[in-house]
Structure 1
Amino acid sequence: MCDVPIVPAPVRELLDEVWAVYGQFTASKLESMTHQEPPWINTPQSDPISHGVMAEFFNTLVIDDGQGKDTQAQAR
């Protein structure tokens, strides 16, 4: 038997959506993409990017589908 933790359905759905959008990219492509986004650009070099800045940015990538469920925008 495998010791895989049980993930709550809402978390699994979110992870599946993230994978569907970003799973196609290599690590170097993901790095390149993130380095062109506001959280990275607007944070001084060597400073950590705050959770608040990240949340604010990624909330702009979520689309309300009008049915009470948010969906992710397509990767750029």
Structure 2
Amino acid sequence: MASTFDVAKYITEQTGEVSAMKLQKLMFYAQAWNLVWEEAPLLDEDFQAWANGPVLPSLYQKHRGMFKVDATLFSMANSASLSQEERGNIDRVLAFYGDKTAQWLSNLTHQEDPWKNARGDTPVGEASTAVISQGAMHEYYSSL
């Protein structure tokens, strides 16, 4: 299983500079689709259902206060530690979602059950640390 920062470094190596919000959403979809295709998590951390969509708290702490990020932010990470299968799955996610804007991706997550169900009755725009379960992600994305 890859570390959050190894995957973030790989994604930013592939995309170049990207907004922090878009990176969070690409990470979410990489995890979701890896759960479907491999029936195993890609990342060793759970996403939380924040107001603007799914967020990895440790990644947020790394890019907090930054609008754009690139691979240099993850200099301590090792993207080469990802398996060929993991890189291939991330590449497939980037091929589909990579040209979308951060806002488009955020809007998409807001329409999907894993984020909506994790937030429950939390009012729109209000903070939440509710975990988006891997089981909910696998179930929802497997059905698509």
| Structure 1 unaligned regions, length at least 5 | 62-76
Query: How many residue pairs were aligned?
Result: 59
CA distance in 1, matches of 2:90, 2:79: 14
Which residue number corresponds to residue 101 of structure 2?
26
Higher relative contact order (CA 8 A, sep 6+): 2
CA distance in 2, matches of 1:22, 1:11: 16
Relative to the length of structure 1, the TM-score reads 0.64
CA distance in 1, matches of 2:83, 2:139: 24
- After superposition, give the CA deviation of every residue in 1:19-49 in whole Å (9 maximum; x if it has no partner): 0000011111100000001112222133221
Deviation, structure 1 residue 16 = 0.6
> Is the alpha carbon distance of 1:5 and 1:39 closer, same or farther for their aligned partners in structure 2, counting shifts above 3 Å?
closer
Q: Which is worse superposed, 51-60 or 10-19?
A: 51-60
Deviation, structure 1 residue 4 = 4.8
Relative to the length of structure 2, the TM-score reads 0.37
Q: Which is worse superposed, 39-48 or 8-17?
A: 39-48
Q: The residue matched to 2:141 in structure 1 has which SS?
A: helix
